[in-house]
Amino acid sequence: MIVNKKYWEEVSIYAIEFLTNELKERKIYKLLVFPIAFTTNEIQEAIIENFYNVKEVTSIEIQLDGLLLNTNENESMDY
């Protein structure tokens, strides 16, 4: 895809399912956005490291590719 990388970052949207390590185990389902270059292993590691009480990531499925608007305040943006 041809985009102006000054303004946009290519991303992928994943359906993620994981189990918690709480007293009563819960199944959590989330749609999460990651840079397009992330591998499945990097996504799994990010989930385990950045959510509390993750017992196991049970499913990682790509849903869509998308664009994320660059909101870096150091770069001016003309709309």
Q: Can you give the pLDDT at residue 41? A: 97
Tokens of 31: 């749609």
Q: Can you give the pLDDT at residue 63? A: 95
pTM beyond 0.95: no
What are the start-end ranges of the E strands in the chain? 8-20, 27-35, 54-69
pLDDT in tens, 19-73: 999 889 999 999 999 999 999 999 999 999 999 999 999 999 999 999 999 887 6
Q: Which domains, and CATH codes, for the chain?
A: 9-69 (3.10.20)
Q: Can you give the pLDDT at residue 79? A: 41
Q: Can you give the pLDDT at residue 1? A: 63
Q: b/e map of 34-55 (b: 16 or more CB within 10 Å)?
A: beeeeeeeebbeebeeeeeebe
Residue 70 contacts residue 28 (beta carbons within 8 Å) = no
